[in-house]
Amino acid sequence: MPLSPTARKHEEQQQQQQNTCNCSEGEEEESFSREDTVYHTIRTSTAAKTGHQMDNPAPSTVVIRIGVPDLEQTKCMRFNLDAPVWVSKQRILCTLNQTLKDVLNYGLFQPAYNGRVGKFLDEERLLREYPAPSDTPIPYLEFRYKKRVYTQSHIEEKQLAKLHTKANLKKFMEYIQYRHAEKISKMLDKGLDPNFHDPDTGECPLTLAVQLENTSEIIKLLRNGGAHLDFRTRDGLTALHKAVRCRNHTALITLLDLGASPDYKDSRGLTPLYHSSMVGGDPYCCELILHDHATVGCMDENGWQEIHQACRYGHVQHLEHLLFYGADMSSQNASGNTALHICALYNQEAIIFYLQDKYLAFAVARGI
């Protein structure tokens, strides 16, 4: 049953907790605490799905041998071929008996075979899209930390170690900050891996680039130099999330053109579309990711969807786009409140007037 307006205090307390998580980019946290939170989020979101899959087993499944080099473990697991790689990754994390540092930046890696270069599986593509070698009875994948995949055979480990000093990595971030494309290109050509965190800010090169203006060329350089589009900052955000939060539609278009998925998840399992519904501003970013087939209906730990957030903050144009692409106005959060209840709780008159006009026009058109 929906909460009455007197329950607004309860809703505000929930949202204050959410905002604390959302604004944690500038806060210092203990690494073990952050990893524990990530593991808890993944296990909570996966438990219900796993139970449902046991009751209704997927028709297309495959047994894959998973190697975890950092833990020196190997195990065989059954996966749904028609589920995204992200789901398989969650299942693996739930079975680990040891904690991995920066676990969100671990991914499934397909080793080289038959002359093909090894590669990391994109988290939002279906597992079916990555065929296994036909001569292997049980396919093998590695669960490892995402790094640049080198195709050059002449690069030596000693040479890479000299290149990846703290001074060089700091210099590389400065080149991005000041948009020195030529210097960035030279360091990448030498073999620098652009998948790392700045020790001070927690940003990675790609997420820093998407927050700056006129950096499409640099974004492409980083991608061609081995940057993973789904590599996350220390706070668990991908470059796509950062571009949306900064309302940088030029960077967003570049990322989507390079093959980034609009459904990448952050450390809370939230998509860029969800973040767009919260931050508001220019709705063009929201429209872009919806046009790129973003999934509508992402839900946070309190049952809030994009449509609830748009109504909470009075983002009329975002709400209009969400409804056009199929958002459900009748969906309820954990407290039983629909988006319309949220409008009333937070006195968002502009949203209410918009909805009245919309449904009045609908009634007139239908002759109701």
Residues in the chain: 368
Q: Which residue has the higher pLDDT, 22 or 115?
A: 115
For residues 2-20, give the mean pLDDT.
52
Alpha helices in the chain (DSSP H): 8-22, 31-55, 85-95, 157-163, 166-177, 181-189, 205-209, 216-224, 239-245, 249-257, 272-279, 284-291, 306-312, 316-324, 339-345, 349-366
Distance CA(254)–CA(106), nearest Å, equals 24
Dihedral sign for Cα 324, 261, 231, 209, please. negative
Whether 275 contacts 238, CB under 8 Å: no
pLDDT at 22 over 70: no
- Do 153-260 and 264-368 agree at the fold level? yes
Q: What average pLDDT score do residues 37-63 get?
A: 61
Domain ranges of the chain: 29-145, 153-260, 264-368
Mean pLDDT of all residues in 45-57: 51
Q: Which residues of 140-158 are buried (b: 16+ CB within 10 A; e: fewer)?
A: bbbbbbbbbeeeeeeeeee
**Residue with the two structure tokens 């438990």:** 47
DSSP string, 127-154: GGGSPPPTT-SS-EEEEEE-------SS
For 264-368, give the CATH class.
Answer: mainly alpha
More confident residue, 235 or 364: 235
Q: What is the mean predicted confidence (pLDDT) over 214-235?
A: 98
Q: Name the nearest CA neighbour of 212 among 246, 182, 185, 236.
A: 246
Report the alpha-carbon distance of residue 316 to residue 118 in Å, rounded. Answer: 46
Degrees, nearest 5: CA angle 233-283-310: 80
Q: How many percent of the chain have pLDDT more than 90?
A: 71
pLDDT at 13: 56
Residue range 316-332: mean pLDDT, rounded: 95
Distance, CA of 61 to chain centre = 25
What confidence tens digit (pLDDT) does each residue in 189-213 have?
999 999 999 999 999 999 999 999 9
- CATH level 2 (architecture), domain 29-145: Roll (3.10)
Other CB atoms within 10 Å distance of the CB of residue 23: 10
Mean pLDDT comparison of 45-59, 131-145, 244-258, highest-scoring range: 244-258
pLDDT tier, 154 (very low <50, low <70, confident <90, very high otherwise): low
Distance of alpha carbon 310 from alpha carbon 329, whole angstroms:
11
Count CA within 13 A, CB hemisphere, residue 55.
6
- Name which of 121, 171, 124, 166 is nearest 146 in CA terms: 121
How large is the C-alpha radius of gyration of the chain? 22
pLDDT class of 146 with cuts at 50, 70, 90: very high
The CATH classification number of 153-260 equals: 1.25.40.20
Residue 25's pLDDT band, with cuts at 50, 70 and 90, is: very low
| Greater pLDDT, 93 or 49 | 93
Which residue has tokens 């709705």?
Answer: 283
Predicted pLDDT at 51 = 47
State residue 298's pLDDT score: 97
Report the C-alpha gap between 49 and 47 in whole angstroms.
Answer: 6
